């Protein structure tokens, strides 16, 4: 039976490499549709957790994992030799930046080389990791063809960018349209058929480069617009204008405007990282992406602005930043999730410490903060948010506006507050204690 028939009859086995924020939701969707799924991860602790029916991602209930295991549809493994078993292999590995803000392709390249070792005729390989245009054709395709296999005939190769937004409730994996590009027309047909089984709508594009660029455009669009409101926030601060009031007024226009909101900096795996994949690739074409780089510069600078503002607020109270005790509220990169990747809170904590502050943090979703490669010095545990903790700190710095925070309680007991998310105003708390940054 050919692969297309197996997909249509749901008898194809699906392999997912990388069982994190992107890979695990895809595992669950395929299992929900009756496919047998083999999940691969080099982290043995993740494999053991999943095989015991546990989830290590806050917004994914363990019950969902247990259902897949009980139906005999899911198995997790760290044994890459088993890559010959799946009929379709989906790559969901990290694509971070190096210290020089250049693409770090070690995970994609390493995974591709491993797949090449076990690739057999009839398999489909889909790359979902966000990357620069040309990655699929320049790295994966030559590697697989070197085995003497022809794309579109002996194996199928597509790029289909992930569109996960952890914690989002209005759109799910199933209801978010899936963009797919293939290196050949037949590759596209098979890839689109596969994804059509787990999403409501598949968007076919002309090739893998167009699909890769689509994902970058989505995230660059957000990065640039967030940079705009971040810059306006700093200007409005000097001018004595409330930027949040301005945004709320502007968004009443029923056309031509979409609201973006300022914050302490960008977080998550996508928006702070992806634009630099394109700026790097653009140099190959002797092209400078000045607009994107300027946006990156503004967003990267926001934690510095927050720390400077913290120093100003403390100074007005007759205290210096050095020696002050500051409790950072929220270390996840956005509210109501446990995802710490590229969180601006990490940079804020690092900078506060460098200025001599004594820093604590509280986050109901993140009990331990450690293991970040850019911040090896940060190894902390969340402290309990009590009356004593708040009164004992010179400042409560709100970096992530979790819904579960009792903002009235925080305002009542904190000595002073620096709010980077306008959360206290949103909760109708207006107090002389609250300063915004």
SS3 assignment for 397-418: EECCCCCCCCHHHHHHHCCCEE
Range of the domain at 255: 221-436
**Residue 211 is assigned to a structural domain of this protein:** no
Q: Are residues 45 and 117 in the same domain?
A: yes
Question: What local confidence, expressed as pLDDT, does residue 401 receive?
Answer: 97
How far, in Å, are 93, 162, 165, 173, 399 from residue 176 at the CA level? 20, 10, 10, 6, 29
Handedness of CA 164, 166, 167, 168 (dihedral sign): negative
Q: Give the DSSP letter string of 78-136.
A: --GGGGGS-SEEEE-----B-TTS-B--HHHHHHHHHHHHH--TT-EEEE-S---TTHI
Own/partner pairs, 201-204, CB within 8 angstroms, 24+ separation = 201/177, 202/177, 202/178, 203/177, 203/178, 203/179, 204/180
Handedness of CA 240, 243, 246, 248 (dihedral sign): negative
Question: 325: which residues sit within 8 A by CB, 6+ positions away?
Answer: 357, 358, 359, 360, 392, 393, 394, 395
The partner residues of 157 in beta bridges, in order of sequence, read 125
Helices (H), 146-207: 185-196
Quick check: 372 and 346 in contact, CB under 8 A?
yes
**Residue 391 is assigned to a structural domain of this protein:** yes
Q: How far apart are CA 86 and CA 89, in angstroms?
A: 6
Q: Are residues 287 and 234 in the same domain?
A: yes
Q: How far apart are CA 360 and CA 388, in angstroms?
A: 13
Which candidate in 31, 68, 92, 270 is catalytic?
A: 270
Question: What local confidence, expressed as pLDDT, does residue 303 receive?
Answer: 97
Q: Are residues 201 and 227 in the same domain?
A: no
State pTM to two decimals. 0.92
Handedness of CA 225, 228, 233, 236 (dihedral sign): negative
Does the annotation count 31 as an active-site position? Answer: no
Return the exposure string of 139-158: e unless at least 16 CB atoms fall within 10 Å of the residue's CB, then b: bbbeebbeeebebbebbbbb
Q: Are residues 193 and 234 in the same domain?
A: no
Handedness of CA 200, 201, 207, 210 (dihedral sign): negative
Let me know how many helices (H) and strands (E) the chain has, helices first: 16, 15
Name the domain boundary from 157, 172, 206: 206
Q: Are residues 232 and 372 in the same domain?
A: yes
Q: How far apart are CA 265 and CA 299, in angstroms?
A: 5
Copy the structure tokens of residue 322.
Answer: 């050095």
Per run of 10 residues, the mean pLDDT along the chain (length 437 residues) is 93 97 96 97 95 92 96 97 97 92 94 97 97 98 95 97 87 95 98 98 98 97 97 97 97 97 91 91 95 94 97 96 98 93 95 97 96 88 97 98 97 97 96 95
How far, in Å, are 84, 187, 230, 237, 436 from residue 305 at the CA level? 51, 48, 10, 11, 11
Q: How far apart are CA 356 and CA 29, in angstroms?
A: 48
**Residue 44 is assigned to a structural domain of this protein:** yes
Q: Are residues 263 and 199 in the same domain?
A: no
Q: What is the CATH number of the domain that holds 256?
A: 3.40.50.720
Q: How far apart are CA 235 and CA 35, in angstroms?
A: 53
How far, in Å, are 12, 32, 43, 82 from residue 40 at the CA level? 17, 18, 9, 9
Q: Are residues 149 and 193 in the same domain?
A: yes
Q: How far apart are CA 124 and CA 190, in angstroms?
A: 8
Question: What local confidence, expressed as pLDDT, does residue 298 receive?
Answer: 96
Radius of gyration of the chain (CA): 23
Quick check: 128 and 162 in contact, CB under 8 A?
yes
Question: What local confidence, expressed as pLDDT, does residue 1 receive?
Answer: 67
Q: Are residues 150 and 66 in the same domain?
A: yes
Name the domain boundary from 206, 239, 256: 206
**Residue 289 is assigned to a structural domain of this protein:** yes
For residue 307, the tally of other CB atoms under 10 A from its CB is 25
Task: State how many domains the chain has.
Answer: 2
**Residue 320 is assigned to a structural domain of this protein:** yes
Q: Are residues 246 and 387 in the same domain?
A: yes
The partner residues of 63 in beta bridges, in order of sequence, read none
Name the domain boundary from 206, 236, 259: 206
Q: How far apart are CA 11 and CA 19, in angstroms?
A: 22
**Residue 216 is assigned to a structural domain of this protein:** no
Question: What local confidence, expressed as pLDDT, does residue 59 receive?
Answer: 85
């Amino acid at each position: 039976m050919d692969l297309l028939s197996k997909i249509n009859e749901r008898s194809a086995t699906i392999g997912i490499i990388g069982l994190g924020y992107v890979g695990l939701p895809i595992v669950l969707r395929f299992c929900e549709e009756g496919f047998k799924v083999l999940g691969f991860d080099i982290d043995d602790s993740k494999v053991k957790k999943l095989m015991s029916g546990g989830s290590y991602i806050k917004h994914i209930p363990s019950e969902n994992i247990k259902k897949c295991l009980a139906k005999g549809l899911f198995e997790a493994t760290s044994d890459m030799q088993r890559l010959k078993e799946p009929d379709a292999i989906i790559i969901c590995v990290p694509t971070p930046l190096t210290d020089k803000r250049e693409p770090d392709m070690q995970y994609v390249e390493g995974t591709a080389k491993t797949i090449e070792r076990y690739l057999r005729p009839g398999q489909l390989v889909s790359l979902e990791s966000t990357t620069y245009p040309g990655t699929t054709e320049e790295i994966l395709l030559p590697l697989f063809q070197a085995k003497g296999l022809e794309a579109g005939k002996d194996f199928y190769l597509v790029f289909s960018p992930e569109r996960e937004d952890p914690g989002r409730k209005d759109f799910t994996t199933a209801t978010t349209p899936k963009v797919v590009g293939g290196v050949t027309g037949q590759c596209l047909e098979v890839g689109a058929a596969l994804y059509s089984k787990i999403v409501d709508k598949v968007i076919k594009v002309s090739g893998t480069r167009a699909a890769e660029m689509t994902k970058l455009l989505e995230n660059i669009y957000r990065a640039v617009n967030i940079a705009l409101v971040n810059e306006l926030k700093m200007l409005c601060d000097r001018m004595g204008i409330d930027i949040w009031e301005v945004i709320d007024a502007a968004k009443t226009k029923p056309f031509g405007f979409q609201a973006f909101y300022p914050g302490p900096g960008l977080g998550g795996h996508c928006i702070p990282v992806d634009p630099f994949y394109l700026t790097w690739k653009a140099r190959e074409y002797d092209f400078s992406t000045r607009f994107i780089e300027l946006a990156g510069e503004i967003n990267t600078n926001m934690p510095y602005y927050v720390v400077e503002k913290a120093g100003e607020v403390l100074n007005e109270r007759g205290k210096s930043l050095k020696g002050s005790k500051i409790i950072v509220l929220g270390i996840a990169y956005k509210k109501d999730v446990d995802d710490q990747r590229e969180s601006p809170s990490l940079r804020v904590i690092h900078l506060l410490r460098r200025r001599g502050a004594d820093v604590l943090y509280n986050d109901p979703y993140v009990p331990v903060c450690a293991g970040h490669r850019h911040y090896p010095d940060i190894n902390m545990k969340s402290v309990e948010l009590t009356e004593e903790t708040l009164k004992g700190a010179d400042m409560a710095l709100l970096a992530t506006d979790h819904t579960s925070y009792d903002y009235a309680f925080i305002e009542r007991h904190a000595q002073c507050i620096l709010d980077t998310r306008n959360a206290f105003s949103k909760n109708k708390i207006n107090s002389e204690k609250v300063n915004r940054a």
